[in-house]
A and B are shown apart, each in its own frame.
Chain A
C-alpha cells in the first residue's frame, strides 16, 4: 500500500481578488520505505505540496491519502494528532527547542505528543540517539552542538515515534558539503533500518543524486523524473 496517494490535488490561495493556483491537479503516489524528492524553482509549489502531505495545510480540492488515511478534510485537532502519530519533520533550520537538551528534544514527541511511560521513553530516545551517533551528547543544549549534530538530533526526533513518513524541507540548506553528505547518508541509513519513507523538498543536487524518485514541480504542475545511469531524465 502506498504511503502517499494524491489524486487531482489542488491548492489555491486567495488574497483579496487575486487567486494563485500553487498546485494544479497533481497525481502521484509514494511507496513505503522510499527516498523521494520534490524539486523545482522557488515558488514552484514544492513546500506547499509538502505542507499538504504533512497535514499542515488542507488541499483546496482533490484527494490526499497518507499512510492509508484520507487527510483531505481533517480538523485542526485531528490533523495535529495525525502528525504526532504518523509523520516526522526535519526542518531547514533544525528547529530544536533551545531550552531542552539533546535527549529532551528527542524525548519531546514521546512526552508531549504521545505520552509514553518514562522508562520506555528513555530506552527509545537512547536507541534513536545511538542510531544517529549522538548518544554521547545527550546533556548538551542545541547551542552547544554543531549544525550537523543539530540536524542529526532533528532526524532522531522525527523518527523517535516510529513515524511511517518523514518530511524534510531543505534539510541540507544550512549545512556544509561534508555535513550535508553525512546527514543524507544518515537519513538513508535510517530508511534502511526503520523502513521509513523520506520525502524531501530540495534544491540540493546531493540529495537529488541520492533519492530513488524525483518529482519536478513547475508552476504547480508535477512531473516524475526517471532515474538513469547518467542522472534524471524526463
Chain B
C-alpha cells in the first residue's frame, strides 16, 4: 500500500546522491542563515545591553534643544523643578518603566595640581543611577564598586587616569563655569577608574549630584537629562510613543515644545550598526532563497527530464494532469522539508554547543564579551517557511511541464 507522499519520497531517493547533494546545499543554507541570525542577534543584543545598561538607558528626556547642543553641555538648557515634577508625574503613570535617573551633565577643568585637562562629567544620584544603568558598576576598573559614588568623590575615565597619571585615592580639583559665568573650584578624591565604552557619555567621568550642585552653585532643583530604564526593551516603541504623546504635547508660554524624548536608537551611533546587521540578515535570507530556488529547480527539471517515459505511462493510464503536477510539487516540498529540518536541527545543536563553550569576543575597547547566541522560534519558523515555500515555487515550473506533457510524445521518449 502506498500514498502520494510515499511515491514522492521514493522518487526523491531514486537518485540518492543528487537528492543528498541538493538537501545538503539547502541544509548548509539554512544552517548559515540560522547561525548568522543567532550570532548577529546575540551580538546586537549584547551591544545594545552594554550601551543601554552601562550608560545610555533606554529612553532619555531633555529640555527641547538640549541634544542639539550637547557638545557644549549647556547649563541654561537644564530642566527646571516644575518641569521635572511634571516628568516624574508622567513617569509614575507609565507601567513599563523600571527605573529612572536624573543627571546633571557638565564640563570642567580637571587638575592633578601639576597639569590640567578638560573633563566631561555626569553628576548622578547613585541609588537611582545603579537601578537605571545596572552595568555601570562593572565599568569600574579600579576602586570600590559598591554604592557607586559618594559626595566628595569622583570616578574618572580610564584615558584621563592614564594621561594625567592619576590613581585611586589621589586628590584632584575640578574647576567649572557656572551658569552666570563665574568660576568655581572644588576638591575631589579619585574613587575609581571607569572603563570607556563606545557611544555618547562613554568616556565621561562621574560625580555625586550634590557635588555638581555645589560646584555649579545651583540652588534650585534642576537636571540636564532624565534617563529611563524599561522593564522590557521590547516595549520600547510603545512606552516611547506614550511618553512622546504626553510630553511632546506640552508647550511653554511661547507655544514651543518644552521637552524632547529620545530612544537610545536616536542617541547611539550603534543603532546604525544594528540596522546594518539587520540589512545583512535580510541579504543572507535572499541568498538562501536563491540557493533553494536554483538547487530545487535544477533537481526537479532533471527529474522531469529523466522520467519523461514514466510521466507518459502514468498519464496514459489515466492520472489527471493536476495529480501529476501535485506529485512533482510534493517532491520539491519534501526536499525543502528535508533540507530545512536537518538544517534547523544542526543549527540548534551548534547554538547549544556555542553556548556551552562560552565564546568570548572583543568589541572596541570592550574585551571578553561573552557571546550567547540564541534564536527565537519566530526566526526558525520564518526561515523554515521561506525554504519550504521557495522549494514549492521552484518545483512549480518543472511540475507544470510534467503535467502538460503529451502522453504520446512522452511514451516515445527513450
Contacts and interface: CB of A to CB of B under 8 A. Distances in A.
Given A84-B318, A113-B319, A122-B1, A91 B411 contact: yes
A233 B406 CA distance: 37
A76 to B, nearest CB: 7
B1 A99 contact: no
Contact of B2 (A56, A98, A107, A114): A107
B1 A83 contact: no
A146 interface: no
Contacts, number: 77
A21 interface: no
Contacts of B407: 56
Contacts of B318: 80-85, 87, 109, 113-114
A118 B317 contact: no
Contact of B1 (A77, A118, A157): A118
Contacts of B411: 91, 95
A57 interface: yes
Contacts of A80: 315, 318-321
A83 B316 CA distance: 7
B295 to A, nearest CB: 22
A100 interface: yes
Given A95-B310, A98-B14, A99-B14, A111 B316 contact: no
Nearest to A99: B10
Contacts of A113: 317-320
Most buried by B among A57, A76, A121: A76
Interface in B310-344: 310, 312-321, 323
Contacts of B408: 51, 56-57
A89 B316 contact: yes
B219 interface: no
B309 interface: yes
A97 interface: yes
B313 A95 contact: yes
A54 interface: yes
Interface residues of A, dominant DSSP: helix
Contact of B316 (A56, A97, A103): A56
Contacts of B319: 80, 84, 112-113
B26 to A, nearest CB: 22
Interface residues of B, number: 24
B1 A97 contact: no
A108 B321 contact: no
Contacts of B14: 98-99
Contacts of A158: 317
Contacts of A56: 316, 407-408
Nearest to B315: A80
A123 to B, nearest CB: 12
A71 to B, nearest CB: 13
Nearest to A95: B313
Nearest to B414: A93
B4 interface: yes
Nearest to A48: B408
A104 B314 CA distance: 13
A76 B318 CA distance: 10
B309 to A, nearest CB: 7
B379 to A, nearest CB: 36
A83 B317 CA distance: 6
A226 to B, nearest CB: 31
A87 B10 CA distance: 27
Contacts of A82: 318
Contacts of A84: 317-320
A104 B6 CA distance: 11
B320 A97 contact: no
A87 B315 CA distance: 12
Most buried by A among B7, B321, B323: B7
Contacts of A111: 2-3
B321 A97 contact: no
Interface string B154-186: 000000000000000000000000000000000
A97 B7 CA distance: 10
B3 A54 contact: no
Interface in A29-77: 51, 54, 56-57, 76-77
A81 B318 CA distance: 6
Given A95-B310, A97-B310, A98-B14, A108 B317 contact: yes
A91 B312 CA distance: 11
A81 B1 CA distance: 22
Interface string B391-414: 000000000000000011001000
A100 B11 CA distance: 9
A213 B220 CA distance: 120
Contacts of B316: 54, 56, 83, 89
A87 B316 CA distance: 9
B1 A89 contact: no
A112 B4 contact: yes
A93 B3 CA distance: 25
**Which 5 pairs between the two chains have the least Cβ-Cβ distance?**
A84-B318, A99-B10, A95-B313, A113-B318, A83-B318
18 contacts: A56-B407, A56-B408, A80-B315, A80-B320, A81-B320, A83-B317, A84-B318, A84-B319, A87-B318, A88-B317, A95-B313, A98-B310, A103-B1, A107-B1, A107-B2, A111-B2, A112-B7, A112-B319
Interface of B: 1-4, 7, 10-11, 14, 309-310, 312-321, 323, 407-408, 411
Given A95-B309, A97-B310, A112-B314, 4 more contacts: A91-B411, A97-B313, A99-B7, A121-B1
Interface of A: 51, 54, 56-57, 76-77, 80-85, 87-89, 91, 93, 95, 97-100, 103-104, 107-109, 111-114, 118, 121-122, 157-158
